[in-house]
Amino acid sequence: MAATTCVSWRRWGALLALSLSLSSTLTACGFHLRGEGGHYTLPFPSLYVGLPESSPLAIDLKRNIRANGGTTVVANAKDADGVIDVLSDPEKTRSKSILSLNSNGRVREYLLAYTIMFRVLDRQGNELLPATTISLNRPITFNETQLLAKEREEALLYKDMQTDLVQQMMRRIAAVKPVQMSVPPASRQ
């Protein structure tokens, strides 16, 4: 009995050693989770978000910007170091289209779409990130006998797409390199 326990402890120890060596290999190669836990270093001390105040996307985006701690959200574009200029409001362009029909000609699946087009400008109006489109699609099955549940599932999918959209926008904004204004050397007289 004691020999069996000793063997199981050795196996457990070997398994632990293997998992530790694999995890140290991952960290040694520079592996880390995308966005370092959802935090991004934004290149602007202050940002203006060009969406209506009541927009769920604007609320979520501003919350994510504030959560990073290094950037404040301002209410006026003139006071901002960076401007997120939204060219197409996803709340107005989100769509639901028929993806497939069953043998009786009734809807079996829908395709939900959520799209935004935006660009990033600096204080002087220079375009730091050209017009960028992010499009997200999610299929959803449909069953008329479960109408309320499917409506709730659709709302949850749109909320999930909004969260994904905000994270993709944050990554793109974090990658922006602001234009550095060079000061000419003082002329010698």
What interhelical angle do 147-174 and 56-67 show, nearest 10? Answer: 40
Kindly state whether residue 15 falls inside one of the protein's structural domains. Answer: no
Q: What is the pLDDT at residue 37? A: 52
Kindly state whether residue 181 falls inside one of the protein's structural domains. Answer: no
Tokens of 116: 């935004």
Distances (CA, A) of 180 to 119, 128, 174: 19, 11, 16
How far is Cα 71 from Cα 62, in angstroms, rounded to an integer? 10
Q: What is the pLDDT at residue 169? A: 95
Residue 5 has pLDDT above 70, yes or no: no
The CATH number of the domain holding residue 62 is 3.30.160.150
Q: What is the pLDDT at residue 187? A: 47
The DSSP code sequence of 145-174 is GGHHHHHHHHHHHHHHHHHHHHHHHHHHHH
How far is Cα 153 from Cα 158, in angstroms, rounded to an integer? 9
> What does the pLDDT look like over 44-83, one tens digit per residue?
999 999 999 899 999 999 999 999 878 999 999 999 999 9
Percent of the chain predicted with pLDDT > 90: 63
How far is Cα 149 from Cα 34, in angstroms, rounded to an integer? 33
pTM for this predicted structure? 0.72
Kindly state whether residue 34 falls inside one of the protein's structural domains. Answer: no
Q: What is the pLDDT at residue 79? A: 93
* Domain ranges, residue 95: 46-173
Kindly state whether residue 132 falls inside one of the protein's structural domains. Answer: yes
